[in-house]
Structure 1
Amino acid sequence: MSEMIIRPRKGWINIDWAELYRYRELLFFLTWRDILVRYKQTVLGVAWSVLQPVFMMVIFTVIFGRLAKIDSEGLPYAVYVYAGLLPWTFFSNAVSLSGLSLVNQQALLTKIYFPRLFVPTSIVGAGLVDLAISFLVYGVILAVYGIVPSAGIMWLPLLVVLTVLATLGFGYTLAALTVSYRDFRFLVPFMMQAMMYISPVVYPVTLVPERYHWLLALNPMTGIIGAFRSAVLGTPWNPTTLIVSTLVTLVLFVFGLFFFRRTERRFADIA
C-alpha cells in the first residue's frame, strides 16, 4: 500500500490559492473554534473583550489625560484615547496570539495536512468579533458624551481591512519565527508594549517634532490610528502618513505571507 506525502510548495511565490479556497470551510471552523475557546472557563466570558479596552481607557485617562494633561485635540480624553485603542487592542492581541498559534497547535500540525496559514489567520478572524463588540461599546461612549461621529465614518471598513493586513503581516512572520525560535514567546509581549508607545494611541502625532513624522509613519499603526480617529471624530490627519503606513503595511503583509510559506515545510519537524 503506497503512502501519499503532501508537502508545502517551496519558494517565495508558490501559494496555492485554489487549495486555500477548497479549505475555506476549515478556516471558518477554526475561527469559530477560537471564538468559543478564547473565553472558555472564564467567569466573565466575552465581557473581557469589552473590559480590556475600557480598563485601559480609564487608566490612560487618569494618567495621561488628568495628570500628564496630554493634548486630545479639543475632545474628551476618554473619547480620544478609546478611538486609538480600538485598532490597537485588536492589533496587539491578534499579533500576540498569532505568534503562539503554531506552537499551541503543534499536535494538530504533526497529524494531518491542511493549509498552515489558516492557524494564525483564524486567530485574526476571531479578533474581529472582539473589535466589533468594542465598536458597539464606543458607540455608547460617544452617546454618553453627546458626540456625533463624523461623515468620515464611512471609511472605517477600509481602515479595518488595512488593520487586518498589518496584523496578518506581523502575525504570519512571528508565527513562523516562534516555531524555530521559542525566545519570541517572551519577546513579543515586550515588543507590543514598546510599539504601543511609539504609536499615537495615547497622544496625537503633533506632539512629536515634525522632522520625525516620517519615522513614525514607518510604523503601520501610526497612519491607521490617526485615520481611525479622523474617521470617527473628525480630527485633523496627515494623508501622507497614511499613505506611507499603507505601503509599509502592504510590504509587511506580502513579506509575512511569503516568509510563512517558505518556512512552512519545517513546521511539523520543529513544532
Structure 2
Amino acid sequence: MSEVAQPTKPEMPLLVIRPSKGWSALNLRDLWVYRELIYFLTWRDIKVRYKQAVLGIAWAILQPLLTMVIFSVILGKLLGVPTEKDIPYPVFSFVALLPWQLFANALQKSSTSLVGNANLLTKIYFPRLVIPLSAVAAGLVDFMISFVVLFGLMWYYHIQLTWNILWLPLLILLALLTALSIGLWLSALNVQYRDVQQMIPFIIQAWFYASPVVYSAGIIPSAKWQLVYALNPMAGVIQGFRWALLGTQPPTAALAVSSAVVLVLLVTGVYFFKRMERTFADIV
C-alpha cells in the first residue's frame, strides 16, 4: 500500500529580536528593512496634518509668508533691523524662516511621536527609531512647497542664484539631523515624563530667539563669541542658507562647530533612545 504524502507546512520567516545592550544592539540596518513602514508613516503624517483643513496644503506657503510679512513690518520697517550686504529684509528673513520652520516642525512632531503612536508600540515589533524618523521626514513636503515663494521673492528683488546653492542639500540634511538628534532625546524622555511635552513649545520659542532668524549673526562682534554662538546648530544652518542663497559671508567656522555638535547629539541621542526603547511599550 502506498503512503499518502502529508503536505508540508510552509516555513515561516524567523525574526530574531535582540536585547538592547551597547552599541552592537543599534542594528541600524533594520531601518532599511523597514523603509516601507517609514514611507507609510511619513505619508500618513502629511495627510493627517491637512485633513479637514479648508486651505489644505496651502498653509505650507501661508505660514512662513505671513510670518515674514509681520517681521518685515515690525523689525524691518519700524525698528530698522540691519541685514547683510543691504539685502531686502523680506527675503533676508524668509531665507532663514524656511530652515527654521523645517527644524521646529520636525522637532515638535518627533518629540511627541512615540506617545502619539502608542497603539503601534504595544501591538507589533518594528525598530522604534522608525517613528521619530518618519515624523522628521514629513516636514520636507512643506519645506519644498515654501521654496516656491522664496524663488518668487528672489526674482522680485533681483537676487541672482550662484553655485553656492549646490550646498543646500547638505544644509537641509544638517537641519533635519539637528531636529532628529534632539527629538530622540525628548521623545524617549516624554514617554516616561509627560512634562517634557509641555516644555517643548517653550524650548522651540527660546531656540528661535537664540538663532539668527530675524537678525544677522554679524551683530556678534567677537570671533570668539561667534564660535560659542555656533554651538547652537541652527545658527550654522541659517547662516549657511543665507550664504548659499543670498551670497553672504561664508560661515565656515560656524558650520564646522555646528556640524560637530550635531554629530555628538545624534550619536548620544541614538544610544539613549535604544537604551530606553525596551521600556516604551510598558510605560506608554
TM-score normalised by structure 2 residue count: 0.90
Structure possessing the higher relative contact order (Cα contacts under 8 Å, 6 or more residues apart): 1
| 2:247 corresponds to | 234
CA distance in 2, matches of 1:184, 1:202: 27
> Share of identical aligned residues, percent?
51
| 1:108 corresponds to | 120
Which segment drifts farther, 234-243 or 215-224? 234-243
Q: How far off is 1:160 after superposition?
A: 1.0
Matched, 1:245 2:258: yes
| 2:6 corresponds to | none
Give the alignment of 1:23-172 within 5 angstroms: 23-73=34-84, 74-172=86-184
Which segment drifts farther, 4-13 or 102-111? 4-13
- Alignment coverage as a number of residue pairs: 268
CA distance in 1, matches of 2:177, 2:61: 23
Give the alignment of 1:187-266 within 5 angstroms: 187-210=199-222, 211-266=224-279
Q: How far off is 1:199 after superposition?
A: 0.5
Q: How far off is 1:9 after superposition?
A: 2.1
Q: How far off is 1:268 after superposition?
A: 0.5
Q: Is the 8 A contact 1:12 1:261 kept in 2?
A: no
Deviations 1:199-234 (A, max 9, x none): 010111111231421221100001110010000000
Deviations 1:46-101 (A, max 9, x none): 11111111111111111211112111110110000001111100000110111111
CA distance in 2, matches of 1:61, 1:255: 39
Which segment drifts farther, 5-14 or 89-98? 5-14
Deviations 1:172-192 (A, max 9, x none): 111111111111111110011
What's the C-alpha RMSD, in Å, of the aligned pairs?
Answer: 1.5
Q: How far off is 1:6 after superposition?
A: 4.3
Question: What amino acid sits opposite 1:122 in the alignment?
Answer: S
Aligned match for 1:181, one of 184, 193, 205 = 193
Q: How far off is 1:13 after superposition?
A: 4.8
Q: SS at the partner of 1:111?
A: coil
CA distance in 2, matches of 1:171, 1:140: 32
Question: What amino acid sits opposite 2:235 in the alignment?
Answer: T
Q: SS at the partner of 1:209?
A: coil
Deviations 1:232-254 (A, max 9, x none): 00011331111101110111111
Q: Is the 8 A contact 2:97 2:213 kept in 1?
A: yes
Question: What amino acid sits opposite 2:254 in the alignment?
Answer: T
Q: Is the 8 A contact 1:13 1:258 kept in 2?
A: no
Q: How far off is 1:257 after superposition?
A: 1.2
User: What 5-or-longer segments of structure 1 have no aligned partner?
Assistant: none
Q: Is the 8 A contact 1:31 1:125 kept in 2?
A: yes
Alpha-carbon spacing, 1:7–1:265, altered in 2? closer, same or farther (3 Å): farther
Question: What amino acid sits opposite 2:265 in the alignment?
Answer: L
TM-score normalised by structure 1 residue count: 0.95
Q: SS at the partner of 1:155?
A: helix
Q: How far off is 1:7 after superposition?
A: 6.0
